[in-house]
Amino acid sequence: MKKKVFTLEEVLDKINDGASIMFSDVHGGWAADEIIDGMIAKGVKNITAVGVASGRPDYGMGKLITNHQVSKLLTTHIGLNKSSIDQMFAGEMEVEFIPQGTFAERIRCGGFGLGGALTRTGFGTSYAEGKDVVTVDGVDYILEKPIHCDIALLHVTKADKAGNCYCRGGSHLCVDYMAMAADLVIVEAEELVEIGELDPEKVIIQGPVCDMIYVRQGEKKPMWGFWQKQIDKIKAKQAAK
């Protein structure tokens, strides 16, 4: 069986300057934290990043933005990361905003070899400026082109040694279609299990799609990072009453 499990150093060797990378985290939750920390230590720069949101300044992909390692960002939302906002207005980072449904569909097209998706979302607004328009049965649609990246950097709850992956709860958001739309799929797993231990009905990424597994060495981080801290503060206040 082809080797699937790698060290952090072996994974980082595949992540280099100028790479286009899809990140699975949302506002810093469900991030490949240890690999991202390794990218910061390595000093990987000029990244084109693709993510639902730009994280928070000290969480997930947001740390790379704060550290000025991202030159271009394709995303749906940057409002919770002041670093993203500041760099965008300063002209230090190019930002392409994409409606969230369109974002998912463009990645799906990139993963399944489609030439693009037709949508009415944003038609007739500034968002549509410069985009191709296709008329179908007398109705105009924006042609949204596929998104495909060099690397998909994904967080998963469990992976088996064959590369099958399971994501707990909402942490599977984006993971399945991002895994199909990258040349190299790297997952950071909270736990490595033996082949056959995962319920086939719950597998989000199939083994042949996954190229590299890194097993997280540190403690499991709260699923929502910043938000978990806020919840803990509220609980502490309630307990003190």
Tell me which amino acid residue 162 is. Answer: A
In a domain, 90, yes or no: yes
- Show pLDDT as tens, one digit a residue, over the chain (241 residues): 689 999 999 999 999 999 999 999 888 788 999 999 999 999 999 999 999 999 889 889 999 999 999 999 999 999 989 999 999 999 999 999 999 999 999 999 999 999 999 999 999 999 999 999 999 999 999 999 999 999 999 999 999 999 999 998 877 788 999 999 999 999 999 999 999 999 999 999 999 999 999 999 986 655 455 556 667 778 888 888 7
The DSSP-derived string for 22-85 is EE--BTTBT--HHHHHHHHHHT--SEEEE-SB--BTTBTHHHHHHTT-EEEEEESB-TT-HHHH
Domain count, the chain: 1
Res 222: pLDDT: 52
- 3-class DSSP assignment, residue 187: strand
In a domain, 126, yes or no: no
Find how far residue 23's CA is from the centre of its chain.
2
Give the C-alpha separation, 202 to 241, whole Å. 42
CATH of the domain at 195: 3.40.1080.10
Domain coverage including residue 190:
8-97+148-240
Point out which residues pair with 188 in neighbouring strands. 155, 214
In a domain, 134, yes or no: no
In a domain, 3, yes or no: no
In a domain, 191, yes or no: yes
Find how far residue 3's CA is from the centre of its chain.
24
In a domain, 30, yes or no: yes
In a domain, 106, yes or no: no
**Are the C-beta atoms of 202 and 170 separated by less than 8 Å?**
no
In a domain, 123, yes or no: no
